[in-house]
Amino acid sequence: MGKNKLKKFAEMETLECVYQYPFAELKASGACPLRGLWGRDVFHNDRPITLELGCGKGEYAVGMGRTYPDRNFIGIDIKGARMWTGARQVADNGMDNVAFLRTSIHLLPEFFSPGEVSEIWITFPDPQMKKVNKRLTGTHFLKIYSRVLAPDGVIHLKTDSPFLYTYTLEMIRHNGLELIAATDDLYASPLAEVVPPITTYYEEQWLSRGIPSKYIAWRLPSTPEGVDSLSEPDVEIEPDTYRSFGRGTLQGF
């Protein structure tokens, strides 16, 4: 491991906006001590909490915190060295409505109580074209989200991937979920006036290559029975013609 990474990991331990709980500690205690108490003990208010999943450098969480000072935001990722960038910005700017949590998305129910989260943002994830159970908009993860989201909570997806966009719409249609909004070209649609005006470094790369940002917002079923019945759509979807997560070049470029 490089010295720079070691330095970042060491600094992460000192930043007040960063929360890290080793799995062994969670296993011993049964749950994070902040579970159900993020508003009171971290943000010191009862404002809505939004999660950014797979936050990377935390650009979206920080941007949302600046845009909406009356809401609370938590960026979540398993990789601390990347998260350090956003955490450093929060510390340097004295932001009190943005925090970062280093953990696996699978463990969300260990960190948040039912209904504690108002919204979830999934920004430019790996589309996982070969592994449906790893897709962050797949039913495997939707059932996890349902254990922390408020009954009227909204899930937002921004993606460069035509595959993930199509798959997510098919998943919503197949399960009869409430579709709030969808567009395969966000900045050429009226939704650009509604969706937060935040672009990440990677999103700028896609846009500069002529790949439009796609956006979907939807809600989960309102009953446990509805969540339990979620299933995968039986459809064939054309794969992306470029490396979405590896950030490779477009075919023909």
Q: Which residues are catalytic?
A: 126
Q: What is the rounded CA–CA span in Å between residue 108 and residue 153?
A: 15
Q: HSE, CB side, 13 Å, CA atoms: give it for residue 44.
A: 3
Q: SS in 3 state form for 70-109?
A: CCEEEEEECCHHHHHHHHHHHHHCCCCCEEEEECCHHHHH
Widest CA span of the chain, in angstroms?
A: 53
User: Counting Cβ atoms within 10 Å, is residue 130 exposed (0-12), middle (13-18) or buried (19+)?
Assistant: exposed
Q: What is the rounded CA–CA span in Å between residue 213 and residue 199?
A: 10
